[in-house]
Structure 1
Amino acid sequence: MTGTRALSKFWMLTNDFTQNPFPVLEYVRRESPVRELSMPGGGRAWVVTRYEDAKAALADPRLSRDIHVHFRLMSERSGRLLTPPAEEANHLANVEPPRHTPLRRAISFAFTPRRAEALRPKVEQIADELLDALVAGPVPDLITGYADPLPVITIAELMGVPASAWPDFLRWSAALRNYSPTDGSGVLDANIQELSSFMAELIARKEREGGEDLLSALIHAAPERRLTPTEILSTGFALMTGGNDTTASLVGGVISALLTHPAQRAELLASPARWGKSMDELIRYVSPISNALQRVTTEPVELGGVTIPSGEVVIISVMSTNRDEEQFPDHPDRLDLDRHKPAHLSFGFGIHYCSGAHMAKVITEIAARRLFERFPDVRLAVDPAELRYQQNVVVRPLEALPVFL
């Protein structure tokens, strides 16, 4: 690419970009690191591509994650009143201080590394059961048969959901993945209502009976840490959407990377203790998050020498920051399991850093390790160039990952 005219005004929303974004992002980082993006329905967004600018943006209170600020902007642009559902409007990712502060304090104790580590045996059991089922098929797809269901079932287990309800959770998770506030069909709203009713009944049962699960921990927390029923319900929804999608994208991406990097896979299998230590480099390289959840400027903000006006959508390209040559000067496009401090931004930065980051790492580590331990000769059933990614503004999931076991 030799000039800015090489990119269309919808440059980040094209299928070509989805399938191979890194050359475009390298160009944008160099030529216009804070760049406009036109939206198909009208309006625009500003894309931040450099690591230091992104880190500053993620920590800047003038770039709001308050869902009500977002819905006001969408209402103005669409010409009709849009209101966020309570299930989406009362969890950490969609609120800002001062409300965010007590919510973060209340939830942090329930999302501890210790709780994630305690789930290891159960995650291994679920992974093995899913792998057993894959063996019976002709050409297994590691996305639909493994990467997608493993996080859903694990998070359902974490919340104390009965195993009999896991199929419904898989269906609801798929529906929520495609939810849009401007959708007028009513189908997605119906799925939200179904999940909301199920979660409300589950929360009521946990109030009466308690348990060792996450929902029980939130419901029966000390008074100073206790959430409202709506906040607990909304937290459950956040786990079902952000938690599932991010981890599924991560599991599929890491497995795909190791399938195409046999030397690194052999290193990990030869030294099992390296799995945990290598996760951050794998996450940096894979970039399961395309872009951080969108922000809206509440006043003019300067980033990368560009002043973004108030009332504008800002998209932080995590994929770009994770390959930024300034932050990762030693071949950022290379998977290097010995890379020193691969400080990626896949789980965010600042007050909105992902509470479930350690859980996502545990699930991904177990998923990849159990697959390659049980099937050391597993290989792709297609040429790597044939793998395709789903077009998604936030996560970067593969459409399919067919293999020979």
Structure 2
Amino acid sequence: MTATPKPSKYWMFTNEFTQNPFPILEYIRSQGPVCEVPLPGAGRAWVVTRYEEAKEALADPRLSRDIHYHYKLIAERTGQRVVPPPENSNHLANLEPPRHTPLRRAISFAFTPRRAEAMRPKVVAMADELLDKLADQASPDLISGYADPLPVIAIAALMGVPAESWPDFLRWSTALRAADPVMAGGEMDRTTRELSAYLRALIARKEKEPGDDLISALIHADADKRLTGMEILSTAFALMTGGNDTTASLVGGVLGTFLTHPKERDRLLAEPGSWGAAMDELIRYVSPIGNTLQRATTEPVTIGGTTIPTGEIVIINVLSANRDERQFPDHPDELDLDREKPTHLSFGFGIHYCSGAHLAKVITEVGTRRVFERFPEVRLAVDPSELRYQQNVVTRPLETLPVRWYADNAMSRGVG
């Protein structure tokens, strides 16, 4: 192991960590599976960095995702009354049993792998339309022009949103992504009101005129799988924020990986049937999630020999778990499409395992393949060392991914 200096006090929030977290995480793992870190401003959190302990923590019911419990702790720490907005507090990612259980059952019934697979032709068309807009640019950015918008419009289409409203969803999604949900106000409040009004009208319309879409499936499910209007609204909000953020991070990350790993890229393009088996290794290597959504302890919990008191914030570092040499003893920092059982934690584990995992894989596979199928000569327009990641606690998105479509830089539309 390469010697790594002891990390700084706020190592998780430094630009050094954002750009190259893996040496620091290797050092942190070597010190133990759980470490205490101070949070900027006040308080502390406990970070789980090894794979087995992370998996254990994700499945532990004493580590709560209940948003009302989280806001209660925030109020106690800050002395300010904070209330979670209903649009963000009635979906399964922010709830625990018993409320989580019927929500999970309903979403699993409506949001099936079959429904995600049926989206493939639509995602191809969406990807091609975005690429058409970028094709004449000398050095297009595949993040802002492609990886960011593709999941938003795909998820909007899945929900039954008509194409003429997709630009609004892109605008709303961008605004919500940049906002702090705890410190609501201004732009976030306006965006929430606009998106909420649109979704309420969409739900009302789907009640009268159902279609072959996710919102209709939730509204018209059997009685034992039916959600309330607010639960459907909140689920739609979750898809438009957490769903598209993580998928955008994954699409951009896989595109960046293939631009710097031509051997692996060419192999998959030559063997389209091997994408399914390779996707988990790609997701493990890219790790679109830096940390899972934070948990809070409802009673003392011992993880990896460390006892965490009641009312403490616990952060499960997926970046670290996905590169843990104990779980992946053979070159964990390398992309290996032949790796056996690359059981990553990027989609979580246990009852909060991501319901949209299959759709994320479909969007990523289709989106990546269309770029390289249409533009086989595409190259990075900068040295790989110049690529930068956004400062983000949950996801790990590239800031930009500038490319040139052709090796000779001669722009032409004769592709595709």
Pick the TM interval, shorter chain: over 0.9
> 1:33, CA displacement in angstroms?
2.4
Map of 1:192 onto structure 2: 192
> 1:127, CA displacement in angstroms?
0.5
Map of 2:414 onto structure 1: none
Partner deviation per Cα, 1:167-225 (whole Å, 9 max, x = no partner): 11011111111232443642111101110000000000000111101000000111111
List 4+ stretches of structure 1 deviating above 4 A: none
Partner Cα distance (1:181, 1:357) in 2: 24
> 1:6, CA displacement in angstroms?
2.0
Partner Cα distance (2:186, 2:373) in 1: 44
Map of 1:210 onto structure 2: 210
Alignment pair present for 1:230 and 2:226: no
> 1:227, CA displacement in angstroms?
0.2
Map of 1:270 onto structure 2: 270
Amino acid at match of 1:111: F
Moved more, 106-115 or 57-66: 106-115
Identity of aligned residues (%): 71
Matches within 5 A, 1:3-402: 6-183=6-183, 185-402=185-402
Partner Cα distance (2:59, 2:288) in 1: 21
Partner Cα distance (1:358, 1:200) in 2: 26
Partner Cα distance (2:280, 2:182) in 1: 36
> 1:87, CA displacement in angstroms?
0.4
> 1:329, CA displacement in angstroms?
0.7
> 1:275, CA displacement in angstroms?
1.6
Say whether the 8 Å CA contact 1:123–1:363 is kept in structure 2. yes
Unaligned runs of 5+ in 2: 406-416
Local SS of the residue matching 2:382: coil
Which TM-score applies when normalising by structure 2?
A: 0.95
Count of residue correspondences: 404
> 1:276, CA displacement in angstroms?
2.0
Partner deviation per Cα, 1:19-74 (whole Å, 9 max, x = no partner): 00000001101113211111112100010000000000000000000000110111
Q: Could you say if the C-alpha distance between residues 150 and 61 of structure 1 is closer, same or farther in structure 2, counting changes exceeding 3 Å?
A: same
Map of 2:409 onto structure 1: none
Partner Cα distance (2:183, 2:89) in 1: 18
Local SS of the residue matching 2:310: coil
Say whether the 8 Å CA contact 1:82–1:181 is kept in structure 2. no
Amino acid at match of 1:378: V
Amino acid at match of 1:282: L
Partner Cα distance (1:373, 1:187) in 2: 39
Partner Cα distance (2:222, 2:183) in 1: 40
Partner Cα distance (2:184, 2:206) in 1: 34
> 1:137, CA displacement in angstroms?
1.8
> 1:272, CA displacement in angstroms?
1.2
Which TM-score applies when normalising by structure 1?
A: 0.98
> 1:164, CA displacement in angstroms?
1.1
Partner deviation per Cα, 1:117-141 (whole Å, 9 max, x = no partner): 1110000000011111111222110
Moved more, 33-42 or 307-316: 33-42
Unaligned runs of 5+ in 1: none
Amino acid at match of 1:255: L
Local SS of the residue matching 2:196: helix
How large is the Cα RMSD of the aligned pairs?
A: 1.1
Local SS of the residue matching 1:315: strand
> 1:295, CA displacement in angstroms?
0.1
Map of 2:412 onto structure 1: none
Map of 2:408 onto structure 1: none
